[in-house]
Structure 1
Amino acid sequence: MRGLKVLPSGRPGRGRLYVNLPDGQAVAWYDRQANRISVLADDHREAILAVLRPYLSGTVSIGPPPVPTASDLRRLALPPDADLAPNRPGETLLGELEHGPAGTRVRHRLRQDLTAQQRMGDAFDALEPEGWRTLHCVPLPGLGRIDHLLIGPAGIFCVRTIPGRRQRAVIGDLLLTVGRAEPRPDPRWIRRAAAFATAALAAKVTPALALVDASRVETAPTVRDIRILQPPTATPNLVASPTTLKPPEVETLFARARDTTTWLTPTNRPGGYSSPAGV
């Protein structure tokens, strides 16, 4: 059958590959970790195998899908353009660099931000075998975008990434300063974003700041509610954190978080939230 499309459901090379009809209906998926094709429409079996053949390796098992969980059902019903899972780290910055301002200074800053987000994003994506799920560039109405949303055994973390530029970074209750640059309201912003995410997901979300390539990070002793992450210790520390979520809870929260309507529905917006000045 012509017109079958193969669409990724997560990070390239890691998540499932879904086979959809032209109208968006899923007819099969290929689980790369299990090396198994689950066929939903047996009358399209040969066409499904043909379109998936370039992606297959080794001995692949084929059959009907296992009994779907609630997360599976929600994912199957999710239109591709409403799925945040395929977003790459720094997705919006890539677009800004391609179509944005031509000023050398502005583009240099954008490249610094992009490099930092890609580095942290790749590190977070690598946690998938440890039971973590990651989304990038999650839109928050009136607030901008969460750089990375991590959901895993240690909980949910809303991460804002800051390039350290090999300079000293000082984190206070309300402001963050890198080198001699103007202070930024990142601590205040990430708290608001985490509160928004907590309301949207109906689960506790911890705010986190990731400092990439800072020569030194100094954090005020009063900053106790924000998780400070620095490569290369950021991901090992997350993995070693106490477990608060079980695997089914992680998958359920990930299925909810990847749906754009979770973030765009007005009832999910905490009262009084608007775009803060200077954020």
Structure 2
Amino acid sequence: MEGLRVIPTWRHGRERLYVCLPDGGNVAWYDREAARVNLLGDDRRDEVLEALAPFLAGPVAVGPPPVPTPAELARLTLHPDDDLAPNRPGEALLVALEREPGPAHRLRRDPRRRALAAEQATGAALDRLDAAGWHTLHSLPLPGGDRVHHLLIGPGGLFALRVLPARGQRVRVADPLVALGRRTPRPLLRRVRADADRVSYALTAQVCPVLVLVEPAHVSVTAPPRFVRVLTDAELPGLARTGGMLKPADAEALHAMARDRATWARL
């Protein structure tokens, strides 16, 4: 047993204890929630159980890892260049600012940086829902140079979110128009619905369009918008309380499809 190390990690909000060789190679892992020790080889069974003994709580199942689900197999065969899951919130804006940061002497802040800060704040709030069984993808590229700011998949269904920076401003919503402060109203809700329609077509699933207002001073809505949810960034955690729409396996399958760049290239 000497030389085996137990290393705790977190994956999708669940704790796993990996049993590793001195060179870092894994020989087993213990899933506390499933009460199961997964062995990559049976030759070290006794050594692994002895190493894990201080961490085991009650009886556990011991055996080889479960057969991968279709969603897991799809993820394992996905080329890294085509995997969108590593995208950071505001990925497209980050790349654009790296390529063309803009003049340093500008008197007014580059609006791209305000948009980036809003997407990053929204993305951070959505990523915190991971522990509740939700998956989030950021900055999904669409044909024609457009993109979906955030896609949330979980027990409550699918949500396509478009972010509007509104720090310290009054926001007026009169479907389809959205006005920030004294600016001319824009038919932004049409764009939000169009994003959701494209996601729905790509994934062949119902998608709820969401407009996220980041740090507004006040929001007034003349009437409930048609088929669109209007939320502030402070209200995003409420999405985790929705459920009853997708089983975990269905959410995993949709996430596997959505993270594949080819899914969006077909639109």
Mapped contact 1:101–1:107 kept (Cα < 8 A): no
Give the deviation of 1:172 after TM superposition.
Answer: 2.5
Aligned-pair CA distance for 1:61: 6.5
Name the residue aligned to 2:97.
97
What TM-score does the superposition give when structure 2 sets the normalisation length? 0.76
Alpha-carbon offset, residue 174 of structure 1: 2.4
Identify the range of structure 1 (185-194 vs 96-105) with the bigger mean alpha-carbon deviation.
Answer: 96-105
**1:216 maps onto 2:218 in alignment:** yes
Q: Which digits, 9 at most, give the CA deviation of each residue in 1:38-64, with x for residues without a partner?
A: xxxxxxx979x5378xxxxxxx97525
Shift of residue 15 of structure 1?
A: 5.0
Correspondence for 2:51 = none
The one-letter code of the counterpart of 1:156 is L
User: Which is further off, 181-190 or 148-157?
Assistant: 181-190
1:78 and 1:85 mapped to 2: Cα distance?
Answer: 11
> Which of 4, 29, 33 matches 2:15?
33
Say if 1:143 and 1:193, in contact at 8 Å, map to a contact too: no
Percent of aligned pairs with the same residue?
42
RMSD: 2.6
Other structure's SS at 2:233 match: coil
Whether the 8 Å CA contact 1:172–1:187 is kept in 2: the answer is: no
Check the 8 A contact 2:175/2:226 in 1, yes or no.
Answer: no
How do 1:27-66 and structure 2 match up within 5 A? 33-36=15-18, 50=24, 63=40, 65-66=65-66
Deviation at 1:14, TM superposition (A): 5.9
Change (3 A) 1:114 1:81: same
Which moved further from structure 2: 149-158 or 220-229?
220-229
Paired with 2:177 and 2:114, the residues of 1 have a C-alpha distance of 20
Report the count of equivalent residues.
Answer: 224
What TM-score do the two structures reach when normalised by structure 1?
0.73
Distance, in Å, in 1 between the alignment partners of 2:95 and 2:145 is 19
Per the alignment, residue 252 of structure 1 pairs with 253
Q: Kindly name which structure, 1 or 2, has the bigger radius of gyration based on alpha carbons.
A: 2
Q: In structure 2, what is the equivalent of residue 74 of structure 1?
A: 74
Residue 160 and residue 175 in structure 1: after superposition, are their counterparts in 2 closer, same or farther (change >3 A)?
same
Q: Aligned partner of 1:200: which letter? A: A
Q: Which amino acid aligns with 2:69?
A: T
Give the drift of 1:186: 2.2
User: In 2, distance between residues paired with 1:168 and 1:249?
Assistant: 39
Aligned to 2:115: 113
CA distance in 2, matches of 1:79, 1:198: 24
